[in-house]
Amino acid sequence: MADKAGKKGGRPDIGSLGGILISVAGILGGLVLEGGKIADVSQITAGIIVLGGTLGAVMLTSPLSCLIKAIRKLSAVFFEESQDPSHVIEEIITYATRARKNGIVSLETELEKIDDPFLRKALNLAIDGTDLQDIRKMMELEMAIDEERAEATARVYEVAGGYSPTVGIIGAVLGLIQVMKNLENIDAVGHGIAVAFVATVYGVASANLFFLPAASKIKARMAAETQRKELILEGVSGIVEGLNPKLIRSKLEAYVHGAPGKKKKGKEPAQAKVNEAPAGVEA
């Protein structure tokens, strides 16, 4: 079994947190260096217009259930929960060694101790004597469905990133309308125009500093998770085939070192699942 260090955790993603802080600090720092004040872009009204308008547009575009899932998935942007592939390999090698000595049925007592549901399901199918090709088809179908769900979640943030700049422009126009009502006070016109354009800043900034990067990070998380599941499936396949544990380790270590050819090979069947019926996928 893998030790506790290899199991899923919720350690903060320094890249995401640092990226947000650096981008905001850079923009506000540039504003201050140009003689501006942070108060110049601190407009609650503009924030309400941009966030409220964007949320409404997203709710109209995406199913409510998908929107809720996207909100819950937001933690994946700032916290890394992926499992260390090296620990997964050690766990698989342990099972492969035991299966080679005592037969694959001997692993049945270990199923309840396996925390990873994907590995537990794959091994359970193998222990039940399911044909290797059928195991691959079922597990690859599950991978494809998970990928589609992650894509749907990422699309919610992509949609928000597409609408927020436009909503920001709407907010700017609304501000200009209010400015035009008070043209008799020429001293306040310049200030009013500056305030009106804060909504545009909010819209463009939220899209390019949060919504679109969040969508990309969710896709990157899913790509890493898919590669981890491909590793597991390859390892279970080796156990079913009765391969030497050393040979299984050699094959699986390609995933740890990021061999592009191995990843691509694993991705093609999963993508085919999306476009074809499950029975049409080649193992």
Q: What is the pLDDT of residues 242-279, one digit of tens each?
A: 889 999 998 888 887 654 444 444 444 444 443 444 44
For residue 5, being part of any structural domain is answered with no
Task: Indicate whether 119 and 15 sit together in one domain.
Answer: no
Does pLDDT of 189 surpass 90?
no
Task: Indicate whether 33 and 69 sit together in one domain.
Answer: no
Span 55-79, average pLDDT: 91
What per-residue confidence (pLDDT) applies to 55?
95
What per-residue confidence (pLDDT) applies to 280?
41
Task: Indicate whether 111 and 205 sit together in one domain.
Answer: yes
For residue 1, being part of any structural domain is answered with no
Task: Indicate whether 24 and 88 sit together in one domain.
Answer: no
Task: Indicate whether 92 and 108 sit together in one domain.
Answer: yes
CA 189 to CA 167: how far, in whole Å? Answer: 23
Task: Indicate whether 100 and 20 sit together in one domain.
Answer: no
Its pTM stands at: 0.76
**From 12-21, 136-145, 150-159, the region with the lowest mean pLDDT:** 12-21
What is the average pLDDT value for the chain, to the nearest integer? 83
Task: Indicate whether 137 and 258 sit together in one domain.
Answer: yes
Domain range for 231 = 43-73+83-280
Phi-psi bin for 257: left (phi > 0), alpha (psi -120 to 50), beta? Answer: alpha
For residue 142, being part of any structural domain is answered with yes
What per-residue confidence (pLDDT) applies to 191?
67
pLDDT digits (tens, 9 = 90+) for 214-242: 999 999 999 989 999 999 999 999 999 98
Task: Indicate whether 205 and 121 sit together in one domain.
Answer: yes
Task: Indicate whether 17 and 57 sit together in one domain.
Answer: no
Are residues 121 and 139 in contact, defined by beta-carbon separation less than 8 angstroms?
yes
Task: Indicate whether 194 and 69 sit together in one domain.
Answer: yes
Task: Indicate whether 16 and 88 sit together in one domain.
Answer: no
pLDDT band of residue 187 (cuts 50, 70, 90) is low
Does pLDDT of 174 surpass 60?
yes
**Number of domains observed in the structure of the chain:** 2
What per-residue confidence (pLDDT) applies to 157?
96
